[in-house]
Amino acid sequence: MPPRPFNTPADFEMLTNIKDSPLFKLINPASIAFFGASNNFGSMGTSQLSSLLELGFEGPVYPIHPKESRVLGLKAYSHVAELPEIPDLAILILPTKIVLDTLIQCGQKGIKHVIIVSGGFQESGDSGSQLQQQLIQTARSFGIRFLGPNCLGIANPHHKLNTTFLPFVGHAGSLGMVSQSGSFITQMFAYLARMGLGFSTAISVGNEADLDMVAGLKYLAVCPHTQVITLYIETIRNPQAFIQVAKAITPHKPIVAYYVGGSESGRQASLSHTGALSGPDALYTGLFRQAGIIRANTIEEMFDISAILDNQARPQGNRVIIQTHSGGPGAVAADACDREGLTLAPLPLSLKQQLTELVPHTGTVGNPIDITFSKDRLAYFSSIPDCLLSDDHYDMLLVYLLMPKQMFARVLRSMDVPEDQIASETSKLMDEVATNFNRISQTHGKPVIGFSFQAQDSSAIKFFQRRNIPVMPSPHRAARAIAAVCRYTAWCKGPHATP
């Protein structure tokens, strides 16, 4: 049997209408046939149906079960032929040996979109590969487009759709993802929520027997909810189409990719995971560079970079001014920025003069500017950053956010605020401070990025995230992510980005 014929003209064509994507109905189905869920919570299928129902999917869901009359409270059908309509999508979480037959039944019913969660195909060796080819041929013969096998499907919170086995956590956001690991979708729900980020649509492509990463990229390129596209890559099966499609996207929508197969151990692990044949690290570096894709060295870096790209102004250069009130974190940030190739230009004299009255004598008017312990603590969040960003010598502000609630409470107490109002007044003050940063960033059209050692989901940090100020969990992570964003912005201005 022939493998999937990659590199057909259709692979290279960009979409103008999102509804033309073969993924559209998969990602935005009106109704779903669900195979493999029961009332036994020890099974994967039941977990996945639970997740779907918990997010509140609004269309009809039809469980197919040979014995049960009801599954998780829904009317169940013993055979797909019995369904009262042709559902937009079928989800198969079944033992490997009955997947093919079920696909045929779906085809006979007239279903055109399928997610095959089941494993045991190409990733399991030769006999699995043959079985996978049979899936492809069967799908072709019925005009079915499918995701997988060996995937978790889709998370599209804007459509209240979550086919993965973990409940969706967080909010519908603007981060698109195509992933060769379902885990890096489902297990990132809570992670992204802590960062104040959320998926627009995340696509688990598994073995990519039919719909692949390129199809996902093309969908996300025209998805109106998606601001940034992230990729978890174990291999690129269709490099020519991948490069051409990515190149068409990156000048106006950033793509951030993490590639895992670069080391020998990573390569072997990928092979047994999704049957992926990885290439040498340097090859992928070149490929990403050619396509204007931002390469992340770790999973956390991929999302750090995305957080800065999501909703923030693009830096016009790589000149950073660091603001702190703690010498140590300021010094570490300076060292980290320097090592990442960012420029820490010294303060021009005129700016120094402006700032002198805002900074106490124990502070340092340099870069970093270290305010230390000042009487007017609110200047740290208003007049000082405003002054810094109005200067032409700086493209962005990196600001240390210690933000302990207790300190704000102590200040309010000193202003004779009654004890029973401290909590609400503290919140009001913090929101004001975060709103100010956002306003300053917008006024000057320059990014403002915070860094802090506080928990990402501490209430103080949340105020900033809600006002679109990304807060990186350490100076090093901030420096690395900023440097990546600066390289991308520079690339966008260069000749390679011109179509």
Please report, as residue ranges, which positions from 158 to 217 form the binding site for a second copy (by CB under 8 A). 166-167, 179-184, 187-188, 190-191, 194
DSSP strands (E only) in 94-212: 113-116, 145-147, 153-156, 161-162, 175-179, 199-204
Instruction: Among 286, 338, 356, 423, indicate the residue that binds a second copy (CB under 8 A).
Output: 338
By CB under 8 A, residue 42 contacts a second copy: yes
DSSP strands (E only) in 326-457: 369-370, 396-400, 448-451
Nearest CB to a second copy, comparing residues 149 and 385: 149
Location of structure tokens 């940034």: 228
Instruction: Among 18, 53, 299, 378, indicate the residue that binds a second copy (CB under 8 A).
Output: 299
Angle formed at CA 77 by CA 75 and CA 81, multiple of 5 degrees: 140
**DSSP letters of 427-477?**
HHHHHHHHHHHHHHHHHHT--EEEE-SS-TTSHHHHHHHHTT--EESSHHH
Instruction: Among 300, 386, 391, 431, indicate the residue that binds a second copy (CB under 8 A).
Output: 300
Q: Which of 233, 261, 254 is nearest to 487 (CA)?
A: 254
Location of structure tokens 């039944």: 105
By CB under 8 A, residue 327 contacts a second copy: yes
Instruction: Among 23, 49, 337, 355, indicate the residue that binds a second copy (CB under 8 A).
Output: 337
Instruction: Among 14, 373, 459, 493, indicate the residue that binds a second copy (CB under 8 A).
Output: 373
State in Å, rounded, how far the first CA of the chain is from the last one.
Answer: 38
Please report, as residue ranges, which positions from 108 to 167 form the binding site for a second copy (by CB under 8 A). 119-120, 124, 166-167
Q: Which of 166, 227, 181 is nearest to 201 (CA)?
A: 227
User: Residue 206 Cβ, how far from a second copy at the closest point, in Å?
Assistant: 10
Residues 56-95 as x/- pattern, contact with a second copy by CB under 8 A: ----------------------------------------
| Cβ neighbours of residue 267 closer than 8 Å, sequence gap 6 or more | 261, 278
Nearest CB to a second copy, comparing residues 113 and 295: 295
Please report, as residue ranges, which positions from 234 to 263 form the binding site for a second copy (by CB under 8 A). 234, 258, 260-263
User: Residue 370 Cβ, how far from a second copy at the closest point, in Å?
Assistant: 7
Please report, as residue ranges, which positions from 406 to 465 form the binding site for a second copy (by CB under 8 A). 406-407, 410-411, 413-414, 453-457
Instruction: Among 264, 392, 419, 420, indicate the residue that binds a second copy (CB under 8 A).
Output: 264
Kind and range of the H or E element at 257?
A: strand 255-259
Instruction: Among 352, 393, 476, 496, indicate the residue that binds a second copy (CB under 8 A).
Output: 476
Nearest CB to a second copy, comparing residues 244 and 374: 374
